[in-house]
Chains A and B, each alone.
Chain A
Amino acid sequence: MTVLEMDATSESLGDLVGPVIRAGNLAEAVIEAVDADNPDRDVLVLDRDDYVRIHMVGECRLTLASLERSLGQSYQLAALEIEMPAFRGRLKTRTDEYVWFYDQSSAEA
């Protein structure tokens, strides 16, 4: 739906999932790609200058196709690791898609 800067309330949401990327061009491209890959949902961004949290509530998809479009060049999702010192939630990695998620919402956990 839109890219929002996290505030104190959204920062403490229990069900946030998604990558933490070192600040720079790749982080900007991931924000754009996540926004495209998860239509009608908010992307919550927290910029700590050195690293950027790029999160969604419950599930966060990132596809290779969207990231390549954002970057304007070919890419391999495995290379995301080079700039990703952490991520929040569970992760499923496939050649063309990464998905961060929880099995249970915080209300159920």
Chain B
Amino acid sequence: MLLNRDDWYDTSRDLDWTFTYVEASDAFPARWSGVGAESADAWQAWDEPFRVSYRDYVRIQREKESGVKAVRSAMMRAGVYEKLDAGHVAASHLHMGTTCMVEQMAVTMQSRFCRFAPSPRWRNLGVFGMLDETRHAQLDLLFSHDLLKFDPRFDWAQKAFHTNEWGVLAVKNFFDDIMLSADCVEASLAASLTVEHGFTNIQFVALAADAMAAGDVNWSNLLSSIQTDEARHAQVGFPTLAVLMETDPARAQTSLDVAFWRSTRLFQVLTGPAMDYYTPLDQRKMSFKEFMLEWIVNHHERILEDYGLKKPWYWDQFMHSLENGHHALHIGTWYWRPTLFWKPNAGVSKDEREWLREKYPTWEDNWGVMWDEIIKNVNDDRIQDTLPVTLPSLCNLTQLPIGSAMSRHDLEPHQLVYKERLYSFDSEISQWCFEQDPERYAGHRSFVDRFIGGEILPPDLGGALAYMGLTPDVMGDDAYGYAWAKDYVTAEAG
């Protein structure tokens, strides 16, 4: 009789070393495992919820690949990309440039799980995670390569992380921290649990639904297929959390609270504008805030409570930021559009504005008044007044503009001096994150630090754009050439 997987699974996943020539702490240094000798035994209880065997893995991944490639071939033949809305296309440029190499970084993180994780069961799953992430990076490159002939911006799937583009530096700063520099336990809490179980759903499932509605079947299918891998391998975060709640719950709470805020801020740039401004109005499924409530508040936070965690101490500020942060980042990125490698849609025509008011009752007071100034300048043919001449001050934690975390009325400074250097933050929460482990963040020099330090020459916007690697063929501009502003001409004239 053939055994089924449950009959042999427990035996197969517990293959471990008994050390005779080296100390366990030399083979599995705490610096990489994240586990000290005092709690080593506790990790024997690590038990994955989502079981995987190599035979099943290969069979299933092969089927996933066949599905993605069949859709890819059909959509290329149908010439779907050429028919997509210019606003929506910006979302895929932004995604490929900022995400492809994060998938590659995740290969390194999963490799660390394979080698240094404190449980043989976890090390075994790391192999599948490593193969998953290799698949994601390669799929992104393949998708982008197919579309390179239509737009050189798809070259940024490979190129972005080799430039100093400011938004890419913000993404890289976060993932360098939680994927490349973190020990297994920290990476598991921040990357597997917070990013993969929580926030990537916003990009890979919710935004994929918008993309499908926008007719971008190929990209939508790619995103949700990738997330089926993430949903499985993100599960390594939960047994890690369970052990930590037994051995060091305070560490778990702090790590997750830091990762939750940093993820919130990052996805306010990556996904917020794409959902609420770039996706054509008649194709939007829900607002960014509504998707965040569905996926982050109801779906993600609830299970953390099941493990005994409390909501982050800054929950009320998080909810306030949910109302505002991505709107601030959108008007900021649109204004500094020459510093982008995609063409943002302003997304504030009269109909779009009505939608924004309905979804965000405070939008008009906070952001509408600023767009009114921009609209007036556009319609008075003063485009130069809608363009930047200098750089925004950046947060030393998130690397995002100061003033972009909350409403436009929340501008009190958050600063501290650490080892004789002044650090500035976009919020009380970012300052708190820094204070939890200053050495982890202190060495990094933001784009503005580099500018002031004389690394960017000539010291003007042109020098900054050259330093970022932005060339005229990819440099950002308004997606529709300001056509949306004509909505307001009659009203203004009247």
Contact = CB atoms under 8 A, between A and B. Distances in A.
Interface in B185-201: 201
B56 interface: yes
Contacts of B227: 85-86
Interface residues of B, number: 39
Given A78-B59, A89-B306, 15 more contacts: A14-B298, A16-B298, A22-B224, A51-B209, A78-B52, A81-B232, A82-B60, A82-B63, A82-B64, A84-B231, A86-B299, A87-B231, A92-B49, A93-B49, A94-B51
A94 B5 CA distance: 8
Contact of B299 (A88, A91, A109): A88
A72 to B, nearest CB: 19
B4 interface: yes
B6 A51 contact: no
Closest 4 CB pairs of A and B: A50-B209, A85-B227, A109-B305, A78-B56
Given A50-B212, A86-B299, A109-B306, A93 B224 contact: no
Interface of B: 4-6, 49-52, 56, 59-60, 63-64, 67, 201, 204-205, 208-209, 212-213, 220, 224-225, 227-228, 230-232, 235, 238, 285, 294-295, 298-299, 302-303, 305-306
A102 B298 CA distance: 13
Contacts, number: 97
A51 B211 CA distance: 12
Contact of B303 (A12, A82, A90): A90
A89 B5 CA distance: 23
B44 to A, nearest CB: 19
A102 B138 CA distance: 36
Contacts of B228: 81-85
Interface residues of A, number: 34
15 contacts: A11-B298, A14-B298, A14-B302, A16-B298, A50-B205, A51-B208, A76-B56, A78-B52, A81-B228, A81-B232, A82-B228, A86-B231, A89-B302, A104-B305, A106-B305
B360 to A, nearest CB: 18
B60 A81 contact: yes
Contacts of A103: 306
A87 B228 CA distance: 10
